[in-house]
């Protein structure tokens, strides 16, 4: 039988039904479809797909197992370099990474690598197979700050190497953005907890409700006998637009809005989380965060949801699948549109936003064409809720309370590219805390690299139980 030029379709909930619930949108392949899709892989000798993966998953090798229906072996192959396959199979921007490099994509559609990864991981979870490798509770102690993808990956890698690893997390639940940011309909929380349970089974200790820099400092961790520390504290500090009316009631940062909905379960009737469920909502921004906020607003009862984005669809940073899903669900895209002022009523509640139309000029420093205001194109949209999703930066708490950590002008921790080590010996960092808001897989790659460097550092400095100044 001729091999299809298209990747096997992913079954999804119907758009009109799914926009009224928080259940997962994409339903996953059946075993039969997974094997069929795997057979599209050409097992290329030069493995371009692997070069496109930030954690170098052995893609042709895991797909070869899938062709034979050997799903657990496929999962274990992915797991060699990827600590959270079920998460990555769902949220990685495969179109610009592995699938963007797949040779099948030259004349047709690339192999559905992400969908196959998700299938292998879900299969593993449903069979409850135990994990390989275990930490040694009496081994050297290593600390990880932050239980997001970078911290969890680093912790898993260190546990496999036999370290006694403790992860310190500020929130009451581990997972970072995976639990407080990305909504249930894109990444069910049971998937994240199952991945975290795997780490716990490997002996990783996770202490929640501990804010490093407040409850305890990094220096105190060294005093407690930790030999090295990884900082994976993310970039959860919201950026605002700095325009008039931004402090009106009804204007949220996307972080606050999504945290109330996801982590604090505002969408479930049995939870009492206060959140204003507006009917006419404008989300400012064009990334994954903006799409998640817009689609969440629809699900909590908004009748009209706009995305206000100052460039065109082509420049939009969100994953194309999320843009498509949002549009199918009825989100209205106001492109080349920039808000200039929020308008309030006499009681201080938001009632509208004044926008201006933009046109695209020459490329700016980001390589994308610079948006330029079109004079006289102002117009007003009636809205009762605005959600600002234009970026985040790292929280300054850790750098302010830890001596000797250098940061760049955006407040991101600077590290050695090779090892992830900061300007202070024994302290490593990675993920959004270093790069600014980026992706799950890049955060995981950084956690993995730092774990290897921490292992070398601890081996070379056995006996060192405290900070010993700057890197030579
Ligand atoms: P985080 O996930 O932010 O985790 C950091 C953790 O550190 C948090 O749990 C935080 O509470 C904790 N912490 C912070 N300060 C302290 C402290 N002082 N003490 C103790 N703990 C602390 N990426 C994708 O690849 N695909 C997507 O589809 C996608 N969608 C996204 C949607 C949303 C809404 C958001 C916000 C981001 C999205 N991203 C996506 C980006 C991705 O989630 C991040 O790049 C990734 O989570 C970064 O991982 P991290 O471990 O560096 O940080
Ligand atoms: Fe298979 Fe595509 Fe990778 Fe080639 S590039 S090995 S076809 S997944």
Please list the rounded mean pLDDT of every run of 10 residues in the chain (472 residues): 86 94 95 97 96 94 97 95 91 93 95 97 80 76 97 94 96 95 94 89 95 96 97 96 96 96 89 91 97 97 97 91 95 97 97 96 85 94 98 93 94 95 97 95 94 96 48 30
Distance from residue 440's CA to the centre of ligand 2 (Å):
22
For 361, residues 6+ apart whose C-beta sits below 8 A from its C-beta are 369, 370, 371, 372
Buried b (16+ CB within 10 A) or exposed e, 54-64: bbbbbbbbbbb
Token code pair at residue 99: 């699938």
The verdict on the CB of residue 42 being under 6 Å from ligand 2 is: yes
Name which of 220, 234, 108, 245 is nearest 177 in CA terms.
Answer: 234
Distance from residue 103's CA to the centre of ligand 2 (Å):
6
15-127: CATH superfamily: Alpha-helical ferredoxin (1.10.1060.10)
Q: What residues are in contact with ligand 1 under a 6 Å CB criterion?
A: 91-93, 145-151, 168-171, 176-177, 181-182, 211-213, 232-234, 236, 258, 288-289, 292, 319, 395, 397-398, 431-433, 437-441, 443
The whole-number pLDDT of residue 468 equals 34
Segments making up each domain of the chain, as ranges: 15-127, 141-236+394-460, 240-390
**According to the CATH classification, is domain 240-390 in 3.40.50.150?**
no
The whole-number pLDDT of residue 80 equals 87
The whole-number pLDDT of residue 130 equals 58
The whole-number pLDDT of residue 366 equals 77
* Residue owning the nearest CA to atom 4 of ligand 2: 44
Closest ligand to the CA of 237: 1
C-alpha 435/C-alpha 41 separation (Å) is: 33
Beta strands per DSSP E along 293-334 = 304-308, 332-334
* Residue owning the nearest CA to atom 1 of ligand 2: 41
3-class SS of residue 233: coil
3-class SS of residue 249: strand
C-alpha of 252 from chain center = 20
pTM attached to this predicted model: 0.91
User: Ligand 1: which of 234, 442, 449 to mutate, most ligand atoms within 8 Å of CB?
Assistant: 234
Distance from residue 383's CA to the centre of ligand 2 (Å):
47
C-alpha 332/C-alpha 280 separation (Å) is: 11
Distance from residue 379's CA to the centre of ligand 1 (Å):
35
Closest ligand to the CA of 144: 1
The verdict on the CB of residue 60 being under 6 Å from ligand 2 is: yes
Distance from residue 177's CA to the centre of ligand 1 (Å):
4
Specify whether the backbone of 72 is left (phi greater than 0), alpha (psi in -120 to 50) or beta.
alpha
Closest ligand to the CA of 94: 1
The verdict on the CB of residue 41 being under 6 Å from ligand 2 is: yes
One fold for 141-236+394-460 and 240-390: yes
Closest ligand to the CA of 187: 1
For 370, residues 6+ apart whose C-beta sits below 8 A from its C-beta are 360, 361, 362, 363, 364
The verdict on the CB of residue 44 being under 6 Å from ligand 2 is: yes
Angle, vertex CA 36, rays to CA 34 and CA 91, nearest 5: 35
The conformation of residue 25, written as its DSSP 8-state character, comes to: S
The verdict on the CB of residue 216 being under 6 Å from ligand 2 is: no
CATH number of 141-236+394-460: 3.50.50.60
Q: How many CA atoms lie within 13 A of 338 on its CB side?
A: 18
């Amino acid at each position: 039988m001729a091999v299809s030029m298209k990747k096997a379709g992913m079954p999804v909930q119907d758009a009109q039904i799914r926009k009224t619930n928080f259940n997962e949108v994409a339903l996953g392949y059946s075993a039969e479809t997974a094997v069929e899709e795997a057979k599209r892989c050409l097992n290329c000798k030069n493995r371009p797909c692997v070069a496109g993966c930030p954690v170098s998953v052995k893609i042709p090798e895991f797909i070869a197992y899938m062709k034979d229906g050997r799903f657990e072996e496929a999962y274990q192959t992915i797991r060699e370099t990827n600590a959270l396959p079920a998460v990555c199979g769902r949220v990685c921007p495969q179109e610009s990474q592995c699938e963007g490099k797949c040779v099948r994509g030259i004349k047709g559609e690339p192999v559905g690598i992400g969908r196959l990864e998700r299938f292998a991981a879900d299969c593993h979870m449903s069979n409850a197979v135990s994990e390989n490798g275990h930490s040694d509770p009496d081994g050297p102690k290593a600390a990880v700050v932050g239980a997001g993808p970078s911290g969890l990956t680093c912790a898993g890698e260190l546990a496999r190497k036999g370290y006694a690893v403790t992860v310190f997390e500020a929130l009451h639940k581990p997972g970072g953005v995976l639990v407080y940011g990305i909504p249930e309909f894109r990444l069910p929380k049971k998937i994240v907890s199952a991945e975290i349970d795997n780490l716990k089974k490997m002996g990783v200790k996770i202490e929640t409700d501990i804010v490093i820099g407040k409850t305890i400092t990094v220096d105190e961790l060294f005093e407690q006998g930790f030999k090295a520390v990884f900082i994976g504290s993310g970039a959860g500090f919201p950026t605002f637009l700095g325009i008039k009316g931004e402090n009106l009631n009804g204007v949220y940062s996307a972080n606050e809005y999504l945290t109330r909905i996801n982590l604090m379960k505002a969408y479930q009737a049995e939870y009492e989380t206060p959140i204003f469920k507006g009917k006419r909502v404008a989300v400012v921004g064009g990334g994954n965060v903006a799409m998640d906020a817009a689609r969440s607003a629809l699900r909590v009862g908004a009748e009209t949801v706009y995305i206000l984005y100052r460039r065109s669809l082509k420049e939009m940073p969100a994953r194309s699948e999320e843009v498509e899903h949002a549009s199918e669900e009825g989100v209205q895209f106001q492109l080349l549109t920039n808000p200039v002022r929020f308008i309030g009523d006499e009681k201080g509640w938001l009632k509208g936003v004044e926008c201006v139309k933009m046109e695209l000029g020459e490329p700016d420093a980001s390589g994308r064409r610079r948006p330029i205001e079109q004079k006289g194109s102002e117009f007003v949209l009636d809205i009762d809720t605005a959600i600002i999703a234009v970026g985040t930066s790292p929280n300054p708490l850790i750098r302010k309370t830890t001596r000797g950590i250098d940061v760049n002008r955006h407040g991101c921790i600077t590290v050695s590219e090779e090892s992830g080590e900061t300007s202070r010996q024994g302290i490593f960092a990675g993920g959004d805390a270093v790069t600014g808001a980026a992706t799950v897989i890049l955060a995981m790659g950084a956690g993995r690299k730092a774990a290897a460097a921490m292992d070398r550092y601890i081996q070379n400095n056995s006996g060192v139980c405290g900070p010993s100044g700057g890197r030579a």
